[in-house]
Amino acid sequence: MDEVFSDLANIPSEPPEVRSTCPTCERPTSVCWCAALPKPRLCPQSRIILLQHPAEEKRCLRTAPMLHFGLSEGKCLVYKGKRFPGRYQDLEELLVGSNTILLYPSPTAVDLKSLLQNNTNTSFNLVIIDGTWPQAKAIYASNPILHKIKQVKLLTKGVSSYIIRTQPTDGCLSTLETATEALCLLEDDEGYRKLLAPLKTLCDFQLKNGAVSHQSKEFLIKNNKYPKLIGKRLNKVLNSVEVLRGE
Ligand SMILES: [Zn+2]
């Protein structure tokens, strides 16, 4: 048993890779994608308004921060919740604005490209619901204020270039990819594709290292991958504890 305790004493409280966190993206610095952000931040005439389902914030692959930090201050506004405008005082004004459009693929939605061809306005507020497709549908259904906004859709291939390679999803574009496609059209500038670079960086991490987001200490111990810090004896003890707890 003494040996087990000496093993225990040698374990640092956290694995090295989670010790320092990037203040911007809030990810461990070893998997931070901030270096891939456009410099300087891009400043479109239009503005993106994300209505974010509360569960979206907890998902492994969150692309909203990449959009937020890739665009100038105030060009990507994020509102969290299920009811809108809810507690946000400035949001109602934005949602009812005459230059506000909602990206939502309803039967009445018009192709964004053709809307722009027949419009002299160059500055829009583009509302995007940030969440899975069922979450987006639920938010749309329960917020009548959204039904009054002019609805647009994107006619793209509709398959994510990145996510599909790492994890199967419902085949939708990520929020970042959706907003990027829209901005290329709104601003008539393919340069907005620079916004995708952090997502590419993140996917490269994932492809190299497996599910990066699961590299908690608990995960590494459970999968016997806590690197060189844990002895075989201690591992045995930990596993037997799990058996006792019925896990
Ligand atoms: Zn970062």
Q: Mind listing the pLDDT tens digit for each residue in 206-233?
A: 777 765 444 444 444 555 544 444 445 5
169-199: per-residue pLDDT in tens? 444 578 899 999 999 999 999 999 999 999 9
pLDDT value at residue 211: 52
> What is the model's pLDDT at position 203?
81
Per-residue confidence band for 122, with pLDDT thresholds at 50, 70 and 90: confident
Among 15-24, 67-76, 149-158, 168-177, the range with the most confident prediction by mean pLDDT is 67-76
Instruction: Report which of residues 12 and 170 the model is more confident about.
Output: 12
pLDDT at 24: 92
Q: What is the mean pLDDT of residues 89-110?
A: 94
pLDDT value for 244: 45
Q: State in Å: Cα 23 to ligand 1 middle.
A: 6
- Residue 22 alpha carbon to ligand 1 centre in Å: 5
Q: pLDDT band for 10, please (50, 70, 90 cuts).
A: low
pLDDT averaged over the chain? Answer: 80
Residue 141 has pLDDT above 60, yes or no: yes
Structure-model confidence comparison of residues 40 and 213, the more confident one: 40
Q: Examine the pLDDT at 4 and tell me if it is beyond 70.
A: no
Q: Which tokens go with 179?
A: 């907003």
Cα 31 to middle of ligand 1, angstroms: 8
Question: What's the confidence (pLDDT) of residue 210?
Answer: 62
- The alpha carbon of 134 and the centre of ligand 1 are apart by a number of angstroms equal to 29
Cα(148) to centroid(ligand 1), Å: 37
Which residues lie near ion ligand 1 (Cβ < 5 Å)?
22, 24-25, 32, 34
Kindly tell me if the per-residue pLDDT of 56 is higher than 80. no
Question: Rounded to two decimals, what is the model's pTM?
Answer: 0.74
